[in-house]
Structure 1
């Protein structure tokens, strides 16, 4: 049973944002905890907002909650993946050549547990660099995409694409503005990121 099912219980209970107090163990990225628990802890530590969804109906509801919370209804979004267009169309979000996108909607290649980071490729971000993306990101991923580290993420990409191998493989690590700039954040572009994590295991 995944950590997410342990926390959220059966599908009769509604999904909710993970409380940081649920992960108050002092373990670090080098611990031997399960990768799902390790990812969740490190992702939250990096400032990410995390919403667990048991099915597509819950995912659609949580997406609407995000739009309402940020007043993004009938706004513009940057999205390059046709499989996600329906979600935008259902909520009257314009995505064709946006001039001032309020947020970036995407999937990802992998969720990296030891860093709590997100691995993207040209399939999600084309040739954009992370600092060229909107400051707000809504990410849709599944529990099966959680891997231990970047090396495992790269291996998954090699297995997934036998042809048309993607380029521009990069990770985004920081999901809130640092109070004081330090060398750990140097060259990083902090993004406000919502992760809608769909259970598929």
Structure 2
């Protein structure tokens, strides 16, 4: 290093030391919310918006007649057979609504193009559906079929993932389900050559039918 270069470097060092230590970064406000406000003050609306943003199909059903109409229209558009439904409470709702379904497991592996299940909660923040293995649907109906339908109520919508996990804790206590899954849109991956593939690890289509709160599912 030449003398002039050495002098210039030392001069910058002396100038930096004279200026004193660098200011500390601002102290985080640990009491402040981690997330920004939801897109809508109404958590149901916020969920519907986010659910569709992540690739889900949302259908609002004012009553059982609307549910029957929406389900029939969905099957017609997708050209799929009647859904597999294994939860007794859901079967009862569909029977009252006059909706066809398959209650047994005959030829399930070969013909499981459509399923319908309930859920534990709906998360407005992420547009996710929280399902578990605690229902009669088990693990298979939310994972194996090509298309997954969910029947839920507005009262099941919560704001954050933490709220949904508290629902599980309060519902099952010390004996939680063997599987709990947050489903955010259809199954998809782009691991191979950055090419998006739907249905890689689960249903390639998910649709939610939100039925107004009248009675129990």
**Same fold, TM exceeding 0.5?**
yes
Q: 1:107: how far off?
A: 0.9
Contact 2:83 2:102 survives alignment (8 Å)? yes
**Superposition pairs of residues 60-139 of structure 1, within 5 angstroms:** 60-72=68-80, 75=81, 77-86=83-92, 87=94, 90-97=98-105, 98-99=108-109, 100-124=111-135, 125-128=137-140, 132-139=143-150
Contact 2:86 2:104 survives alignment (8 Å)? no
Out of 29-38 and 96-105, give the one that drifted further.
Answer: 29-38
Structure 2: distance between partners of 1:55 and 1:162: 32
Structure 2: distance between partners of 1:57 and 1:91: 10
Who is 1:194 aligned against? 207
TM-score (norm 2): 0.64
Out of 35-44 and 112-121, give the one that drifted further.
Answer: 35-44
Contact 1:110 1:120 survives alignment (8 Å)? yes
Contact 1:47 1:176 survives alignment (8 Å)? no
Who is 2:52 aligned against? 44
Q: 1:59: how far off?
A: 1.2
Structure 2: distance between partners of 1:83 and 1:129: 15
Query: Secondary structure of 1:61's partner?
Result: helix
Q: 1:58: how far off?
A: 1.2
Who is 1:143 aligned against? 154
Q: 1:164: how far off?
A: 6.0
Out of 44-53 and 92-101, give the one that drifted further.
Answer: 92-101
Q: 1:51: how far off?
A: 0.8
Contact 1:174 1:188 survives alignment (8 Å)? no
**Superposition pairs of residues 147-162 of structure 1, within 5 angstroms:** 147-161=158-172
TM-score (norm 1): 0.69
Structure 1: distance between partners of 2:124 and 2:115: 22
Out of 60-69 and 29-38, give the one that drifted further.
Answer: 29-38
Contact 1:76 1:101 survives alignment (8 Å)? no
Contact 2:55 2:185 survives alignment (8 Å)? yes
User: 5+ unaligned residues in a row in structure 2: which ranges?
Assistant: 1-34
1:23-74 CA distance string (max 9 Å, x none)? xxxxxx73343222321221111111111111122112211211222223xx
Q: 1:147: how far off?
A: 0.5
